[in-house]
Amino acid sequence: MATIPRPEYPRPQFVRKEWMNLNGEWEFEIDYADTGKERGLCEKNLKDRIIVPFCPESKLSGVEHVDFMEAVWYRREVAIPEEWNDSEILLHFQAVDYEATVWVNGQEVGRHRGGFTGFTCNLGDASKLGGKATIVLRARDPRDWHKPGGKQAVVYANSGCRYTRTTGIWQTVWMEPVPKTHFNRPKVTPNLTDKSFRLELPIAAPKAGWTVTATVKDSQGIVCTASATTGLDFAVVLNMAIPEDRVRLWQPGDGQLYDIELELTDANGFLIDKASTYAGLRSVAIDGYKILINGKSVFQRLVLDQGHYIDGILTAPTDEALIKDISLSMRAGFNGARLHQKVFEERFLYHADCMGYLVWGEYGDWGYMHSANRLANHIDDTLHHEPGSAMLCQWMETLERDYSHPAIIGWCPMNECSQNIEDYMQSLDDVLRGLFIATKNMDTTRPVLDTSGYAHRVAEADIYDSHDYEQDPEKFAIRQAPIANDTPFQNGPENSKWNIPYGGQPYFVSEFGGAWWNPANADLESNNRTGSWGYGIRPRTVEEFYTRFKGLCDVLLDNPRMFGYCYTQLTDVFQEQNGIFFFDRRPKFDFARLSAIQSRKAAVED
């Protein structure tokens, strides 16, 4: 039997024992003109093969087609285990780029838009499927739809900071049996003040008078148990108090977690559904110009992580590769990452939780702005796609999925927006404000940045930032010093109308550094001669890189008004060769030396 790629459980924050991994070989066909539905591809065998969950552009998929694909089709027949016959079957797609339509046994069972968030199709009673499920998926990714897509190239070739596209399935596909009345994803909120967890448990097809029980465990065994009766609200809410002698804080570098077992029993006491989750006890708060974690000011030494891989594009080749990325970052002295222009898969966030690795959640919004600019120039794009609505919907799905991860300590839905504040151009303002309000209503426990760098538009945003790629530490210090007088460095042309006035929020430089370095080509005079690039004038020697890295980091570590920074970037990504590591994760620099530069106490730290 062939080895299943990415065999690990794909949803570690909401686990059931019974499940089936559908990764591996699927029938596949490229639909260049998006005419497959008219040509009956829903009912036909497809002519090619692909390895799921890797996108067709990737080497690991076995296809490696890197040109535009208007649509792609997948087909697979799955035998349903007999022991599932008394259950409903949920078919999960962790991520499909961009618009997915799913048929099972010839019937349409689901649609979804958005390349970064997953969706589920309820196939109904397993007994009615006849012992098999013939799954057909069409993924449409039209070139003329200006949609949130992150760093995907919008022309044929990679260039600048645009990379090889991802089309179709790029995360795990799987099935699980559930009873008709069953748990949906739990929502866990830590409360450090009273050492407890607030557990919200939504239930599908709920019935009144049933009982929900949650049991919190640590390495020593049961910590506490709580129960509640269904029928009083749309979700059962339990408050789980942790005894003082069992309190273990989740904190940077120490990912202490509690396991939580969930049970649903009916009015007669029979077990109906069982699942498990986990939680970390920690808090995030603001104290003037500081961000506090568990009541202490922690300087956030972040690295920009774009989550790309040579052989899998957006998909890590193995679960171990996700762990390795976090480990490499921590060995180099970073305590977290800004997850950039991509919603990372749940397994990455799980490992961040386990390792005490701080992360900021972001959406891959690039592509939305392209359409906003078209609309500003009176080019009607709405008949094809409404990117503002899509962006809001997909970001809400992200927040719902990732809310309970203790590693996430802040949200940033957009990146580098750049429009003037003008009477005739308000689409950006509406979307930025809408995303901010929706995020704050969804999550009151974390700070929210309206957009990373460039055009800040939301006055009540919790955080303010800039991107500053000045390579000379002395000039860099001059540019960043005015924050002491509440006049931070702002992106944009001179006298720009990109930004509203600074409101005194905690401030950090969320992108800096990014110096090109490739020791194999260190003697070349120009980045262009290597087909690669980085920010500013490249260092002439590796010692010059260390001097620059230390000088830039020192400027921010020494600034008492700086709560953190984010260095660009963890790895090279295709032609962008400004990483701490090569694209294949080989190190460029001395780990210990980079760590020593960053690990000294910052001015803002307690």
Whole-Å CA distances, 323 to 54, 326, 327, 341, 587: 19, 5, 6, 20, 16
- Residue 13 in any domain: the answer is no
- Residue 322 in any domain: the answer is yes
pLDDT at residue 246 in the model: 97
pLDDT at residue 369 in the model: 64
Q: Mean per-residue pLDDT for 385-405?
A: 91
pLDDT at residue 420 in the model: 67
Per DSSP, what are the bridge partners of residue 567?
A: 303, 512
Q: Mean per-residue pLDDT for 518-546?
A: 78
- Residue 72 in any domain: the answer is yes
Among the candidates 154, 178, 202, a domain finishes at 178
| One domain for residues 200 and 334 | no
Q: Mean per-residue pLDDT for 539-547?
A: 95
| One domain for residues 128 and 198 | no
The model's confidence at residue 386, banded by pLDDT at 50, 70 and 90, is: confident
Q: What is the CATH number of the domain that holds 109?
A: 2.60.120.260
| One domain for residues 145 and 271 | no
| One domain for residues 459 and 538 | yes
Q: Mean per-residue pLDDT for 350-367?
A: 96
Q: Mean per-residue pLDDT for 474-497?
A: 90
Residue 464 confidence (pLDDT) above 90:
yes
Q: Mean per-residue pLDDT for 504-522?
A: 92
Q: State pLDDT tens for residues 216-255.
A: 999 999 999 999 999 998 899 999 999 999 999 999 999 9
Q: What is the CATH number of the domain that holds 507?
A: 3.20.20.80
pLDDT at residue 379 in the model: 46
The model's confidence at residue 527, banded by pLDDT at 50, 70 and 90, is: very low
Residue 375 confidence (pLDDT) above 50:
no
C-alpha dihedral, 236 to 241 to 242 to 243, nearest 10°? -150
Q: Do 519 and 542 meet the contact criterion of CB atoms below 8 Å apart?
A: yes
Tokens 């690295």, located at residue: 303
| One domain for residues 529 and 502 | yes
> What is the distance of C-alpha 572 from the center of its chain?
19
Structure tokens at 273: 């559904």
Using alpha carbons only, give the angle 257, 263, 267 rounded to the nearest 5 degrees: 155
| One domain for residues 525 and 420 | yes
Q: State pLDDT tens for residues 406-449.
A: 999 999 999 998 776 664 455 678 888 999 999 999 999 999 99
Between CA 163 and CA 574 the distance in angstroms is 7
Q: What is the CATH number of the domain that holds 212?
A: 2.60.40.10
The Cα diameter of the chain in Å comes to: 78
- Residue 251 in any domain: the answer is yes
Q: Mean per-residue pLDDT for 77-84?
A: 97
pTM of the model: 0.96
Q: Are strands 196-204 and 187-191 parallel, antiparallel or unpaired?
A: antiparallel
Among the candidates 123, 152, 178, a domain finishes at 178
- Residue 578 in any domain: the answer is yes
Q: What is the mean pLDDT of the chain?
A: 93
Structure tokens at 603: 């001015």
- Residue 185 in any domain: the answer is no
- Residue 605 in any domain: the answer is no
| One domain for residues 318 and 348 | yes
Residue 337 confidence (pLDDT) above 80:
yes
The total number of structural domains that make up the chain: 3
Which residues span the domain enclosing 261? 193-279
Query: Which has more pLDDT, 499 or 491?
Result: 491
Query: Which phi-psi region, left, alpha or beta, contains residue 333 (left: φ > 0; alpha: ψ -120 to 50)?
Result: left
| One domain for residues 471 and 394 | yes
pLDDT at residue 606 in the model: 81
DSSP 8-state symbol, 525: S
Lowest mean pLDDT among 174-178, 355-359, 373-377: 373-377
| One domain for residues 249 and 173 | no
Q: How many other CB atoms are found less than 10 A from the CB of residue 92?
A: 18
| One domain for residues 169 and 311 | no
The model's confidence at residue 583, banded by pLDDT at 50, 70 and 90, is: very high
- Residue 78 in any domain: the answer is yes
| One domain for residues 544 and 475 | yes
- Write out the E strands in 554-601: 562-568
Lowest mean pLDDT among 83-97, 373-387, 553-567: 373-387
Q: State pLDDT tens for residues 244-283.
A: 999 999 999 999 999 999 999 999 999 999 999 999 999 9
Using alpha carbons only, give the angle 498, 501, 507 rounded to the nearest 5 degrees: 95
Query: Which has more pLDDT, 419 or 584?
Result: 584
- By C-alpha distance, which of 225, 126, 117, 212 is closest to 171? 117
Among the candidates 178, 210, 228, a domain finishes at 178
Whole-Å CA distances, 306 to 314, 337, 338, 599: 9, 10, 8, 23
| One domain for residues 398 and 492 | yes
Whole-Å CA distances, 361 to 189, 333, 346, 401, 573: 17, 20, 12, 11, 20
pLDDT at residue 422 in the model: 62
Residue 482 CB partners (closer than 8 Å, separation 6+):
488, 489
Whole-Å CA distances, 106 to 5, 22, 87, 111, 508: 27, 19, 21, 14, 53
Q: Mean per-residue pLDDT for 538-552?
A: 96
Between CA 223 and CA 245 the distance in angstroms is 10
